[in-house]
């Protein structure tokens, strides 16, 4: 693979805006996105439904023009240099564009004919565990199998940059893990990967960097640990309306119908005091759970508007 992008980001986006429709019907789906995808990294673009991830990717892929802003992909312009970018990039769209009449092998063979330096069809069939489906027509495949053919075609040209829009949606847990191994392997080959996903575990497992998008903007950037840092840890148990609210480190006590949750900035201190209170009052805390801040808690806070700092934040640079 010829990765000559040096230390420059493989993808650089500044002030990207994208509007659908015009006049009264205009809707701005992307509202000033800045994004760097470092060369050789796996970067995950995460977001709530309708956050603008696909709308952003479509501009990078040269499928749609930006309303405003600057975009460079492998140092090139997504529209005017589209042919060159396509040669060096593997793209997995959300929807497959292959005809249903051809078999899997015929589909990949046909696709292979459009590439400059394709990896062998049989190698791709093996890589995606599709050998025993090779002679089945595309229309007879399951959703997960179709997704794997799409992925095989995206990776066949041994691309420098791989853009994967929800690569594991519709896959069972085992196939999902296979795809993770495959994506991880791309990093070892020196490729740059930009992936969108709804699965937080996927983003945490795979990505070097996360970009969290909400309502058309990037609201958090950094490694999973950096992003979770600063968010509260939680201690929760079966409902206890009598639990003291002034335990060391506790910022907030949430009483829900089936659970009491303490948010704390000092997990061990709060837990120690809670246990002392429980012992002193002979209280048994049923279904006790204590956890450090997770990407999930940050994501949920963003999704339901509880994000303590909704302004764009470059956590990684702190």
Ligand X SMILES: Nc1ncnc2c1ncn2[C@@H]1O[C@H](COP(=O)(O)OP(=O)(O)OP(=O)(O)O)[C@@H](O)[C@H]1O
Residues that bind ligand X (CB under 6 A): 20-21, 27, 29, 47, 49-55
**What is the Cα–Cα distance from 189 to 192, expressed in whole angstroms?**
9
Shortest Cβ distance from residue 56 to ligand X (Å)? 7
Instruction: State which residue, 20 or 292, has the beta carbon closest to ligand X.
Output: 20
> Torsions phi, psi of 130, nearest 5?
-115, 10
When the beta carbons of 34 and 84 are compared against ligand X, the nearer one is: 34
CA 179 to chain centre: 14
Nearest approach in angstroms of CB 248 to ligand X is 40
Query: What SS3 class is residue 196?
Result: strand
Nearest approach, Cβ of 210 to ligand X (angstroms)?
14
Report the DSSP pairing between strands 42-47 and 209-214. parallel
Nearer to ligand X, 94 or 103 (CB): 94
Sheet-wide strand order for 250-256: 250-256, 259-264, 233-237, 289-291
Q: Which is nearer to ligand X, 59 or 73 (CB)?
A: 59
Identify the burial level of 59 via C-beta atoms within 10 angstroms of its C-beta, where 0-12 means exposed, 13-18 middle and 19 or more buried: buried
Q: What value, to the nearest 5°, has the Cα angle with vertex 159 and ends 157 and 160?
A: 160
Q: Identify which of residues 21 and 23 has a Cβ nearer to ligand X in the complex.
A: 21
CB of 305 to ligand X, least distance (A): 16
Q: Are the C-beta atoms of residues 14 and 178 closer than 8 Å to each other?
A: no
Tokens representing 194? 């930009």
Angle subtended at Cα 227 by Cα 221 and Cα 232, rounded to the nearest 5 degrees: 150
Rounded CA-CA distance 55/162 in Å is 17
User: Which residues, including other chains, have CB under 8 Å from residue 289's CB and lie 6 or more apart?
Assistant: 234, 235, 236, 237
In the bound state with ligand X, the residue whose beta carbon lies nearer, of 51 and 207, is 51
Least separation in angstroms between residue 226's CB and ligand X is 22
Q: Given the complex with ligand X, which of 27 and 242 has the nearer CB atom?
A: 27
In the complex, minimum distance from the CB of residue 97 to ligand X, in angstroms, rounded to a whole number? 17
Nearer to ligand X, 29 or 212 (CB): 29
CB of 154 to ligand X, least distance (A): 18
Min. distance of Cβ 73 from ligand X in angstroms? 18
Q: What is the nearest approach in angstroms of ligand X to the Cβ of residue 53?
A: 3
Q: Residues, the chain, total?
A: 318
Q: Please answer whether residues 161 and 191 qualify as being in contact, where contact means their C-beta atoms are separated by less than 8 angstroms.
A: yes
Of 49 and 311, which has the nearer Cβ to ligand X? 49
Comparing CA positions, the residue from 210, 236, 241, 245 lying closest to residue 225 is 210
């Amino acid at each position: 693979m010829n990765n000559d992008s040096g230390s420059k980001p493989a993808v650089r986006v500044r002030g990207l805006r994208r509007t659908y429709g015009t006049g009264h019907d205009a809707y701005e789906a992307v509202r000033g996105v800045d994004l760097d995808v470092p060369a050789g990294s796996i970067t995950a673009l995460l977001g709530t439904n309708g956050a603008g991830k696909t709308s952003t990717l479509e501009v990078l892929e040269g499928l749609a023009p930006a309303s405003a802003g600057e975009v460079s992909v492998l140092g090139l312009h997504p529209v005017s240099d589209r042919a060159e970018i396509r040669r060096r990039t593997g793209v997995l769209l959300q929807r497959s564009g292959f005809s249903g009449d051809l078999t899997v092998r015929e589909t990949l063979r046909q696709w292979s004919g459009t590439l400059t330096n394709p990896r062998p069809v049989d190698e791709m069939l093996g890589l995606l565990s599709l050998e025993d489906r090779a002679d089945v027509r595309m229309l007879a495949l399951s959703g997960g199998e179709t997704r794997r053919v799409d992925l095989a075609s995206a990776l066949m040209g041994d691309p420098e940059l791989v853009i994967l829009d929800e690569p594991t949606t519709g896959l069972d847990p085992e196939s999902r893990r296979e795809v993770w191994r495959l994506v991880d392997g791309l990093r070892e080959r020196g490729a740059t990967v930009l992936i969108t996903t709804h699965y937080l575990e996927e983003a945490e497992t795979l990505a070097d960097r996360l970009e969290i998008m909400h309502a058309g903007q990037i609201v958090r950037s950094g490694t999973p640990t950096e992003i979770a840092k600063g968010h509260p840890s939680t201690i929760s148990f079966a409902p206890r309306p009598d639990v003291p609210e002034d335990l060391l480190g506790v910022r907030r006590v949430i009483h829900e119908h089936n659970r009491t949750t303490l948010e704390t900035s000092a997990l061990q201190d709060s837990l120690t005091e809670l246990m002392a209170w429980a012992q002193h009052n002979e209280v048994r805390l049923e279904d006790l759970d204590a956890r450090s801040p997770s990407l999930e808690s940050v994501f949920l806070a963003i999704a339901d508007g509880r994000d303590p700092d909704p302004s764009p934040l470059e956590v990684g640079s702190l």
